[in-house]
Amino acid sequence: MVYDVVIIGGGVIGAAIARALSRFQLSVILIEKEYDLAMGASGANSGIVHAGFDPLPDSNKASLCVRGNRLMESLCAELQVPFKRTGSLVVGYSPDDLRVLEVLLARGRLNGLSGLEVLNQTQLMAKEPSLSPQARYALYAPQAGIVCPYTLTLALAENAVQNGVEVQCGTRADGIQREQGRVSGVVTSRGLIPCRYVVNAAGVWSDEVANWAGSDSHTIMPYRGEYCLLDKKKGGLVRQVLFPIPGEKTKGILVAPTVSGNILLGPNRRLVQDREDRATTDEGMDEVLTGAKKLVPGIDEKDVITSFAGIRAVSDSGEFVIGTADLKGFINVGGIQSPGLTAAPAIAEMVTDILGEEGLRLREKPGYIPRRTGIFSFAAAGMEERQSQIAENRSFGEVVCRCENVTTGEIIAAINGPVGARTLDAVKRRTRGGMGRCQGGFCSFRIADIISSELGIPVDKITKSGPGSELVRSRT
């Protein structure tokens, strides 16, 4: 079979493009080298839906961020993805900081935002009582919000699969095949995938994939960012996304609520050599906690339940790199760092338009399904909903993860979904099983048993995140 489009990369950008293309009468396959989607930057970022005052006017970042922000709420509603428009505050402490806020205010207005305002201390403290008493000013952006980045990625991919797109994890792209000056296929770890067009959404590896097509459009500089997550008992500590005054190359260490009820701190910023280096360090955690406490002094490290890190795919130009290459049929979508999550639905629109301009015939698909139904959540449901679901299927009354109230039924649904979970981390991303205070200490092996039973795989072959992360060595 010759596919119309191969998308390389299973992050939020690749998934958004797959969903956008699923509207049309096309054969599309998305490939991802890891054993689940959202295992790169899309699984380890701040989950902020940015308002759009930070990017420079007339840049791709600015226009795509503002457009993506406007699309996000309706998109999440269609996909049953939790979204909250919390607003954000950039917090200042001095007259110099106030001048920076005024620059951001003017920039935001040039980018088309309304409702931006600089607050005084009284207004600021009314909005965020837990802020440092030294805080004097803040830029308030009502458009900002929060979303779970890996839930959004998975929902986009699942809806794409509902509409005929294929998703193939554990499939590493190794090269591009060409014939007569245009793309003819993608060489992968599972063999050749013949195709007419390739979309390079390979994240931190996008420059290397571009090189296969003879494109030197960008070079990726991998920056690691570390985060801390606070227990849900601290979930009411802040109401909005809180930023410090931005530095020259970073928005700084933020404090933000999450849609699941935790508080997120981070990230810091460290250039690394290894593009897979997602290690957390004592030094990094100290830096994150110190930066977060400048904003909210009441943060206590004893409330940290986990830490993690992600790698930003920063291009040498600092801009999103979206466009064609000399090799016909090859589209680059690289350097997608912040605000890439916000911009994802707008980037998907842009890439679809580029493919159309390059000759891909875009005929609307009869019977396109725009809505996705997520997994029933026992934790989020009311008593009547729970009783009704349990009456239909008793497994939704068997709580496996006590911290997050996740049931056997939810785990089975995650395993058998459109993009089925095959690892513990994959189940965690779909159900939150193992994400609570004990971080899987009580439920991991029960979840492994359910995966084993559903897929017919021995327990000693069940992994945390893919080959090499087996939970047990062997049966005794």
- DSSP labels, 427-446: HHHHH-TT-STTTTTTTHHH
What long-range pairs does 388-394 form, CB within 8 A, spacing at least 24?
Answer: none
Alpha-carbon distance of 194 to 107, in angstroms, equals: 45
50 is annotated as an active-site residue: yes
Query: Which band of pLDDT confidence, cut at 50, 70 and 90, is reported for residue 50?
Result: very high
User: How long, in residues, is the chain?
Assistant: 476
CA dihedral 267, 268, 270, 275 (to 10 degrees): -10
Given a cut of 80, is residue 101 above it in pLDDT? yes
The whole-number pLDDT of residue 157 equals 98
Contact 275, 205 (CB under 8 A): yes
Average pLDDT over residues 86-100: 97
Alpha-carbon distance of 324 to 413, in angstroms, equals: 39
Alpha-carbon distance of 170 to 163, in angstroms, equals: 22
Candidate list 33, 50, 278, 428, residue with the active-site label: 50
Given a cut of 80, is residue 474 above it in pLDDT? no
CATH of 83-144+221-309, picked from 3.30.9.10, 3.10.20.30, 2.60.40.1250, 3.55.50.30, is 3.30.9.10
Domain(s) of CATH 3.50.50.60: residues in the chain: 1-82+145-218+316-374
Given a cut of 90, is residue 153 above it in pLDDT? yes
Task: Report DSSP state, residue 23.
Answer: T
Domain(s) of CATH 3.30.9.10: residues in the chain: 83-144+221-309
Q: Using CB atoms within 10 A of its CB, is residue 40 exposed (0-12), middle (13-18) or buried (19+)?
A: buried
The whole-number pLDDT of residue 247 equals 83
What percent of the chain lies above the pLDDT cut of 70? 100
Contact 439, 306 (CB under 8 A): yes
The C-alpha angle 348, 311, 146, rounded to 5 degrees, equals 55
Q: Does domain 383-461 have CATH number 1.10.10?
A: yes
pTM above 0.95, yes or no: yes
Query: Which band of pLDDT confidence, cut at 50, 70 and 90, is reported for residue 319?
Result: very high
Domain(s) of CATH 1.10.10: residues in the chain: 383-461
From the CB of residue 467, how many other CB atoms can be counted at a distance below 10 Å? Answer: 10
The whole-number pLDDT of residue 164 equals 98
Task: Report DSSP state, residue 464.
Answer: S
CATH of 1-82+145-218+316-374, picked from 3.20.20.70, 3.90.1150.10, 3.50.50.60, 3.40.50.10330, is 3.50.50.60
- Give the H or E element holding residue 20: helix 12-21
Alpha carbons within 13 angstroms on the beta-carbon side of residue 233 total: 7
Task: Report DSSP state, residue 67.
Answer: H
- For the record, the structure tokens of 48 come out as 């902020």
149-162 vs 12-21: helix crossing angle, rounded to 10: 30
